[in-house]
Structure formats: C-alpha cells, structure tokens
Chains A and B, each alone.
Chain A
Amino acid sequence: MAEVTFRIERFNPETDSEPHWEDYTFEPKPGSTLLDCMNHIKWYMDGTLTYRMSCRSAICGSCAMKVNGGGQLVCNAQLDDHLGCHVEDDRLITVEPLGTFPVIKDLVTDFTPFWERMHAVEPYVKGTDYEDGDKETRMSPDDFSKIDPASTCIACGACYSECVSFDMDKKFLGPAALAKAQRIVHDTRDHETQERVERLSEEGGMWDCSHCFACVQACPKPVKPLYRILELRREADKLGVHDNNGSRHARAFVDIIEESGWLDEAKLPLKSVGSLQEIMTDLVPMGIKMWLKNKYRPNPFHLLPGMHHPEVPKMNEVTKIIEKTKHSHQK
C-alpha cells in the first residue's frame, strides 16, 4: 500500500505554549483502521504521542478524535474511507483532539463538561414503586424500542465535538445528555416524566438545539442525538409543555400550514415569541428594516386574528392530509 501522512495536532502543556502540527508518513497495512494507524505511529514512530484507546471494538468509547475536521471514533473507521478528503494531498489525514472540550495533552481531552451534563439530566429511573416481593418491572418490546437507540450511547463525546450550540453556549445540555434524557423520559418505569420534560424545556434544554445534524453525522452508534431531541420535543407537545418560544414556534408553524398550506413569515415570528417586549424591541425594528429595503412587505391585514395570507392552490388536498393526521397533533 502507498504511503499515507497523518498530520496530528500535538500539545504538551508542560513544554508548549500552543498546539502545533506534526506529520507522520508511513506505509499502512492493507485493511487498517484509523486506530491501527494511530497505534502504528505510537508504537513504531513516536512513543510520546498521547491518546485514549482500549477496546478497539466501538464499545468503550474512548478513542473519539477529530479526523479530517469531524469528530468520530477511530477504531471502527477504515483508513481507506478517509483518504481523498484533502484537495492538496489525497493521502493526507488530519487528526485533532475533539472540539469544544479542553485539551489535556495531544488528543486527550477533559471530559468534565460531558459528565456534568450527563449528571444534570439525572440519567436514572426515578419514582418506581415496587410492590412487596416484586423484584422486576416488565416492559413490552414496543416500549423498549423507544429507548433502544439512546441506550446504545457509549459516551465517546464525538457529538459534543461537533455541536455548535454547545460550542457557543455552555449552558446547553448538549446532544448526548439530551439523548440520555429521552432514554429516561420514555422509560415506562420512570414516574417523573412530566417534571423531566418541563425541566428539559427550559433554557439550555431541548429547544436550544439548532437542528444541524452535526451530532447525527458524528455519532458512531444508533443514538443519533438530534432524532432523540425531536422525540423529546414531540413528547413535550403531547404533555402540554407549551409555554416557551420553542414550542410556540413549532405549534405556530403547524397552525400556519393548516391555515394556508405554506409558511407566512410575518405571522410566524409574531406567534413564536412570548412577550410584547420581544415584538417591540426585536421584530418590529427588523420588519421596518425589511420594509424600507423592499425586501419583504407582507400585507398587515393578513396578520389580523382569523385572517391569513392566500392559500396554496388545491388547499383542499392539504386539508385532507391535515385532517387525517390530526390525531398525532394534540391540541
């Protein structure tokens, strides 16, 4: 096999003021995983290279790092699938520590922020009353299927590496913790569902996710945190936890589609925010700016109660679909 170059970000807090790149060029064995390559470098080329690894089987979750710019596990990734990503050299692989966590040394990051958020969602079943002598609580296969994907999380942290919401605002619980929260919320043995969903609807919770799919891309397991977050949002809607901008926004969106079949961009913001202050200090100045530039001049008449902008042609077809699916949209 032809040579490859691993360009690895190195940082030793005892000697370095900032990280630097080092190149390792070698001939990998055919069929190597990315972890095989990292091990080759450490064992035969530079013993000072520091990273976490253990099981080599995508079970322990310790070997997540950023490869070619994206967080992922390296033990279950084939080298061949990651070549050809760099325009300047198709035999180049870049490796960096996971993003958003503090770096301890080389590719080893401090997982304290990760575990703090996991603990914050109280990831254990609460409130189950066992009857005398009863040692088990049974769960149907259907019920288990709701918590199965999130249960497969191996806490590798790759999702946090790529989460831009977490990167910008550390109040955000983040992908893996919210997926864990969904796993407990939908666990039939847990008796604090309502309280949990209410807490998870507050600032830093489920509605702070920007729906960017970065965690879905990074996740090496079926967890795919964004999809679990969407399940939490639907649960919140079902349980009537509506008093926040996220829920108001989603419900207004559906209401507007029900009215006219397509989005009314003037009405949506007005129905999404919870206070007159937000309307006056944020939406009105924005609207004026757009009006003056002739970018968007909605008909104010359409904003009056009971009114709406023109319907899409054949709205009756849209209405039929809405009527048939209404049962899953709890009012």
Chain B
Amino acid sequence: MASHEPEAIKGMPGKRYAFYPGCVSKGACKELKKSTETVCKHLGIELDELKEAACCGAGISDDVNEEMTDALNARTLAMAESRGLTLLTQCSTCQGVLNKINKELQRDKKKRDAINEILEDTGYQYDGTVEVKHLLWVLIDEAEYGLSRLKDHVKNPLTGLRVAPFYGCYILRPSDDLGFDHPHRPTSLDELISALGGEPVDYNGKSKCCGFPIQFMNPKNSFAMAGTHLTSAKKQGADTMVTPCPLCHLNLDERQSDAANVLQERGKLSGSIDLPVLHVPQLVALALGYTPKQLDMQTHIVSTKHVENKLSGVAAG
C-alpha cells in the first residue's frame, strides 16, 4: 500500500518516447496530434518527435514497392533506436505497419542485413531493439504509464457518457505480432473508457474493419461497413464512439453522411446516424478537464455537441 501513495504516482518521472505522429495527424486529422500532445504534456509523458521520418506507407505503398516500404520504416525504427527510446504512435495503422516490419526484422537477420544495406548511405542502421507502442497501450499498461496513474489525473469524469469503443483492425491483428488485446474480444479501450468514468457500450462490429482502405475501390462497400458499425453502436445507446486510428476516424466521421446514404439505399436506415466520433486522446483530455474547443472538436464533420451537452449536463446537475 505504502508504495502507492498518490505523491509517488504524481511524481512519476516523465517517461520519454520517440514520437511518430503519422501523416494523417499532420493533414486531415490535425486535432489528433494536438490532443495527443495536450494529454502527454499534462501527464508528464515526453514526446521526442521524429520530424525526419517518412510515411509508413499505411499498408498501401507495399502493394507496389515492398522493399521501399520496409526500408523507410526501418529508417524510422533506427531513429528511435539511436535515441534509445520506445517508438510511440497515435495511429493504429502506423503502429501495425511499423510493428509488422519490426517483428520481421527482429526475427530474420538475413532480411535485416539486406535492409541495412539499403540504409547504408542514410547513416542509419537498425539492430532490431526497438519496441513499437500505440498511445492506447501506453496509457493502459502499468509498466508504461498505466491506468492507475491516469485515474489519478481525472478531473472531469465522463459520468453518464456512453462510449462505443471502435478497435478496428491494425491494433488487434495479427495478434501473434501484437499480442496486447484478444483479437476477437478486446478490452483495452473498454478499460480506458471505464477508467475515465465513462460507460463502455458493447456492440457488434467493434473489432471489424471500418472500410476506409477501400474508400476509392468500392465506396459503397466501404461506407456500408462504417455505417453498419456506427448504427450498431447507436442502437446500443452510444452517445459517442472512440477510435485509436485516424484512418477509421476519416471513414466514421467524415464519411458518416455517405454511410447513412448507403444504408438508406439498402433499406437499413431511415434518417441520419448522428454519432460523434472521438480520437482516443480527445476522450482522455475531456476527462483531464480540457474543453472540446481546446481539442479542436469543432472541426469534426459530425457535430460533437451531443457529447458536450451530455458532459455539461452532468456537471450542471
């Protein structure tokens, strides 16, 4: 007991990570980067941003050039290695792509040698010692930051807010390479929501694909996927949905009206969906006492007013 005094928790030395923000958080989801930085600063998690890192390829560039994709990611891993830091992502997809190549390079010395040969002129070499972690895992894992410390910082508990966790793909599968959550019955986001004082909502589809990767190849199917998960969460009484992946956010939020249209065409919905979708650090920051405006929630395509009303209603009541 004595070893867990609040002072010791609050006084935890700031943990430092090599931060790989990912392209989407510097483009169409700038609110994600802002929220991650806000949360990390508040909690004393130091971020050493890898500004020179290239795009991870998002699981798409290897459709054309696998070798280039592997080498660019090895360069990013080597940047974290040279700093002696764990690599932190705020995007499930960046995490999945980096972890996949990381595990391959750690397992396969021959491949590592071949990739290091490509890296030679860049000054980087990768020895396979880095760990890649998503912000969600760092917040949950007691060996990193941990929910017990996080709980201690909750100023405005999300009391009464029913939150649907949307896990998606890259943070769960293939579980042999990741192993943080159960691939079919994940709990990490649920645990986070509970720790923040919110109520996790169980619904079908929370660990399925959001549809984003086929947005241009088969838009109807892409939007049908997003719409099906969103309406399933809404039917279970969700006030909002939270996702650890900005690509999921792009389909679930920006494309929500397209998703509604496809479901209407298929006779599966009348009216709109109207389910606000939050990034993980936005949900955390709300509980830490930040305002939606400070997290740029007004830039979301689907209004987050409902979340604000629900939370302020609780505060006022």
A61-72: CB near B (< 8 Å → 1, else 0) gives: 000000011100
Residues of chain A contacted by B136 (CB below 8 angstroms): none
- Kindly name the residue among A264, A282, A294, A318 whose own CB sees the greatest number of chain B CB atoms within 10 A: A318
A210 & B214 in contact (Cβ 8 Å cutoff): yes
- A210 vs B169: C-alpha distance when bound (angstroms): 10
B314 sits at the interface (CB 8 A): no
A216 & B298 in contact (Cβ 8 Å cutoff): no
B19-40: CB near A (< 8 Å → 1, else 0) gives: 0000110111011000000000
A214 & B173 in contact (Cβ 8 Å cutoff): yes
- Which among B7-15, B82-90, B205-213, B234-242 touches the partner chain? B205-213
A135 sits at the interface (CB 8 A): no
- A146 vs B208: C-alpha distance when bound (angstroms): 29
With A210-B213, A321-B119 known to touch, is A262 a contact of B62 (CB < 8 Å)? no
A122 sits at the interface (CB 8 A): no
Query: Which single residue of chain B is at the shortest CB-CB distance from A85?
Result: B185
B54 sits at the interface (CB 8 A): yes
B155-189: CB near A (< 8 Å → 1, else 0) gives: 00000000000001110111100000011110100
| Residue in contact with B75 in the complex, picked from A272, A298, A317, A328, CB distance below 8 Å | A317
B118 & A253 in contact (Cβ 8 Å cutoff): no
With A169-B224, A210-B211, A282-B219 known to touch, is A329 a contact of B65 (CB < 8 Å)? yes
Residues of chain A contacted by B118 (CB below 8 angstroms): 321, 324-325
A246 & B217 in contact (Cβ 8 Å cutoff): yes
Residues of chain B contacted by A262 (CB below 8 angstroms): 23, 26, 54-55
- Kindly name the residue among B119, B123, B213 whose own CB sees the greatest number of chain A CB atoms within 10 A: B213
- A317 vs B71: C-alpha distance when bound (angstroms): 11
Query: Which single residue of chain A is at the shortest CB-CB distance from B183?
Result: A217
Residues of chain B in range 34-71 having any CB-CB distance to chain A below 8 Å: 51-55, 57-68, 71
> How large, as a class, is the contact surface on chain B?
35 or more
A322 & B68 in contact (Cβ 8 Å cutoff): yes
| Residue in contact with B64 in the complex, picked from A69, A87, A237, A286, CB distance below 8 Å | A237
* Minimum C-beta distance from B275 to chain A (A): 17
| Residue in contact with B62 in the complex, picked from A68, A230, A312, A324, CB distance below 8 Å | A230
* Minimum C-beta distance from B82 to chain A (A): 13
A328 & B225 in contact (Cβ 8 Å cutoff): no
- A262 vs B175: C-alpha distance when bound (angstroms): 28
With A249-B217, A263-B23 known to touch, is A237 a contact of B63 (CB < 8 Å)? yes
With A253-B64, A318-B54, A320-B122 known to touch, is A208 a contact of B187 (CB < 8 Å)? no
B203-235: CB near A (< 8 Å → 1, else 0) gives: 000001101111011111110110010000000
A165 & B300 in contact (Cβ 8 Å cutoff): no
A199 sits at the interface (CB 8 A): no
B5 sits at the interface (CB 8 A): no
A233-256: CB near B (< 8 Å → 1, else 0) gives: 110010000001110111101101
Residues of chain B contacted by A244 (CB below 8 angstroms): 217
Query: Which single residue of chain B is at the shortest CB-CB distance from A283?
Result: B216
With A234-B63, A321-B71, A325-B71 known to touch, is A313 a contact of B55 (CB < 8 Å)? no
- A58 vs B170: C-alpha distance when bound (angstroms): 27
A265 sits at the interface (CB 8 A): yes
A302-331: CB near B (< 8 Å → 1, else 0) gives: 000000000011100110111011101100
| A–B pairs, 28, beta carbons within 8 Å | A68-B185, A69-B184, A70-B184, A164-B211, A168-B221, A169-B221, A207-B214, A210-B212, A211-B59, A212-B168, A212-B213, A213-B96, A214-B208, A216-B173, A248-B216, A250-B61, A253-B63, A262-B23, A264-B27, A266-B27, A273-B216, A282-B219, A289-B301, A295-B299, A312-B54, A317-B123, A325-B65, A326-B68
Q: Which residues does A use to contact B, with CB under 8 Å?
A: 68-70, 85-87, 164-165, 168-169, 172, 203, 207-214, 216-217, 230, 233-234, 237, 244-246, 248-251, 253-254, 256-257, 261-266, 269, 272-273, 282, 286, 289-290, 293-296, 298, 312-314, 317-318, 320-322, 324-326, 328-329
